[in-house]
């Protein structure tokens, strides 16, 4: 697993994808600290790593990245860690459009396509 605070290339992300799942990379974004972790087998493992490094659970959202897809659909908002009824998120997706937009901005800033 790798914490990303500075830009990485799409080539590096493709390499990470090949190591575990082949066509996708699981990632957890911290919408407050504007960073993310990639390369875990489970979103919960990535979430734990960020919490160990000072992130707050309520700021963490799980996504899947498909580096071979060349459109906006390359980000999938689907993770068990997104089930946060206390924050009004009652699905594995991300119901709040503002949080989704922040995640898209973080991903686009950190991954050079």
Token pair of 112, please?
Answer: 């050079």
pLDDT (tens digit per residue) in 31-62: 999 999 999 999 999 999 999 999 999 999 99
- The phi, psi pair for 65, rounded to 5°, reads -115, 135
Q: CA-to-CA distance for 6 and 8, rounded, in angstroms?
A: 7
Strand pairing of 35-38 and 25-30?
Answer: antiparallel
Q: Give the predicted TM-score (pTM) of the model.
A: 0.96
Binning pLDDT at 50, 70 and 90, where does residue 72 land? confident
Question: Total domain count for the chain?
Answer: 1
- 59-106-104 Cα angle (round to 5): 95
Token pair of 4, please?
Answer: 């990303």
Q: CA-to-CA distance for 58 and 66, rounded, in angstroms?
A: 25
What average pLDDT is seen over the chain? 97
Residue 79 burial (10 A CB sphere; 0-12, 13-18, 19+): buried
The domain in which residue 49 lies consists of: 2-112
């Amino acid at each position: 697993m790798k914490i990303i605070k500075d830009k990485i290339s799409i080539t590096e992300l493709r390499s990470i994808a090949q190591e575990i799942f082949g066509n996708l990379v699981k990632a957890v974004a911290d919408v407050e600290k504007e960073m993310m972790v990639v390369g875990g087998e489970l979103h919960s493992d990535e979430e734990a790593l960020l919490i160990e490094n000072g992130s707050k659970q309520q700021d963490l959202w799980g996504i899947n990245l498909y580096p071979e897809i060349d459109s906006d659909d390359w980000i999938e908002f689907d993770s068990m860690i997104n089930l946060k009824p206390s924050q009004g998120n009652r699905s594995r997706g991300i119901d709040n459009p503002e949080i989704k937009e922040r995640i898209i901005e973080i991903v686009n800033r950190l991954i050079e396509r």
